[in-house]
Amino acid sequence: MPRPIAATLSLNALQNNLQVVRRHSPKSKVWSVVKANAYGHGLARIWQGLQQTDGFALLDFNEAVLLREAGWHGPILLLEGFFSAQDLKEVSHYGLTTAVHSHWQLDALAKAEVSAPIDVYLKINSGMNRLGFHPKEAVEIWQQLRAISQVGEITLMTHFASADGPEGINGQLDKMEQGTHSISAPRCYANSAATLWHPQAHHDWVRPGIILYGASPSGRADDVANTGLQPVMTLSSEIIAVQSLEKGDRVGYSGRYQAEQSQRIGVVACGYADGYPRHAPSGTPIIVGGVNTRTLGTVSMDMLMVDLTPCPEAQIGTSVELWGKQLPIDDVAAAAGTLGYELMSALAQRVPVRVSA
């Protein structure tokens, strides 16, 4: 007797979102970013919905092998690169492209015994201050890589910190231009936000992630409302109990919600052990029987409570959408003080997943 909660994934929505990316960057090839198990959607379940991509970008070597063994023969990019010199034999064996962001990796490449040259993405730190070489080093590092016979094609790469906000990308683009203008090589700069909103950064490849799954890189659903993006994941459940409250009754752990008048509430089979954010406060949007309403009280491990005042016909068995087709995941995330990225990635293993066309 399975619980009524389930996540439904739409491959049609995924394919649609890839086409939205192509419309925004018609002259660029597309790396579909499927890191973190395809943002919680399950790489093995959904990769075929992205078969029209030009390549897949991810972090985990085992996920790269999964794609190869599943039949993907195109490019695969390791966004964080390799982590030890011993990794390079397998990187070459599986025909992977690797980011290079540290000096020790240059030495490892030069000493590697590989079956074929390895294509690399030279990571430049243009202001994010995570991975990458300083722009002033770019020419020197590029020349070093060109001299290594174990290295194939070299592509320049950077990552934007504020492509989704008012600061924009011009400062980082200026640093890239200053450091790399003399380098003749393909370029891959644009993340999801830059793919949508900064065409000057599209260059040879774009790297969309969150937008492939139908959510906003800014965390604001309104920012992508007119793009044609569609949510891939819908998390749904049902009302499993109904309670009638009197004025003053409290709800849930610590009684954080107190009824101001008589009201009906519903108990939903979904909690933080399913991936719903425990810190979501009373008032977080939720849809019951197609009607917009709100959560009440503290989210429990396995259940949460909802206000049935706007939907008086609701009863045990009434459908509930936690996020998805009717309710943008970004709206739920915003109410909980987080991002849609986190909610997608946190979907628990115990939640049944259905894949639809």
- For 285-343, what is each residue's pLDDT tens digit? 999 999 999 999 999 999 999 999 999 999 999 999 999 999 999 999 999 999 999 99
CA atoms within 13 A of residue 298's CA, in its CB half-sphere? 8
pLDDT at 1 over 80: no
> What is the mean pLDDT of the segment spanning 108-134?
97
User: What pLDDT is recorded for position 323?
Assistant: 98
**Which value, in Å, is the radius of gyration of the alpha carbons in the chain?**
23
> What is the mean pLDDT of the segment spanning 249-271?
97
How far is Cα 349 from Cα 18, in angstroms, rounded to an integer?
A: 26
Which two structure tokens, joined as six digits, stand for 158? Answer: 């950077």
Q: Which domains does the chain have, with CATH numbers?
A: 11-216 (3.20.20.10), 233-356 (2.40.37.10)
pLDDT at 100 over 90: yes
The string of pLDDT tens digits covering residues 30-77 is 999 999 999 999 999 999 999 999 999 999 999 999 999 999 999 999
Kindly report the pTM of this predicted structure.
0.96
How far is Cα 108 from Cα 27, in angstroms, rounded to an integer?
A: 34
> What is the mean pLDDT of the segment spanning 181-200?
98
pLDDT at 202 over 80: yes
Which two structure tokens, joined as six digits, stand for 255? Answer: 């009684």
Residue count (the chain): 357
How far is Cα 191 from Cα 208, in angstroms, rounded to an integer?
A: 5
Contact 274, 5 (CB under 8 A): yes
Please identify every residue annotated as catalytic. Answer: 35, 253
Which residue type, as a one-letter code, is found at position 70? A
Q: Any residues with CB less than 8 A from the CB of 191 and at least 6 apart, and which?
A: 159, 160, 163, 207, 208, 209, 217
Which two structure tokens, joined as six digits, stand for 31? Answer: 């790396």
The string of pLDDT tens digits covering residues 220-230 is 999 999 999 99
* Residue 22 pLDDT level (bands cut at 50, 70, 90): very high
Which two structure tokens, joined as six digits, stand for 303? Answer: 């259940």
Q: What is the mean pLDDT of the chain?
A: 97
How far is Cα 90 from Cα 105, in angstroms, rounded to an integer?
A: 15
> What is the mean pLDDT of the segment spanning 154-167?
97
Contact 231, 321 (CB under 8 A): no
Provide, rounded to the nearest whole percent, the portion of the chain with pLDDT above 70: 100
How far is Cα 25 from Cα 194, in angstroms, rounded to an integer?
A: 10
CA atoms within 13 A of residue 262's CA, in its CB half-sphere? 2
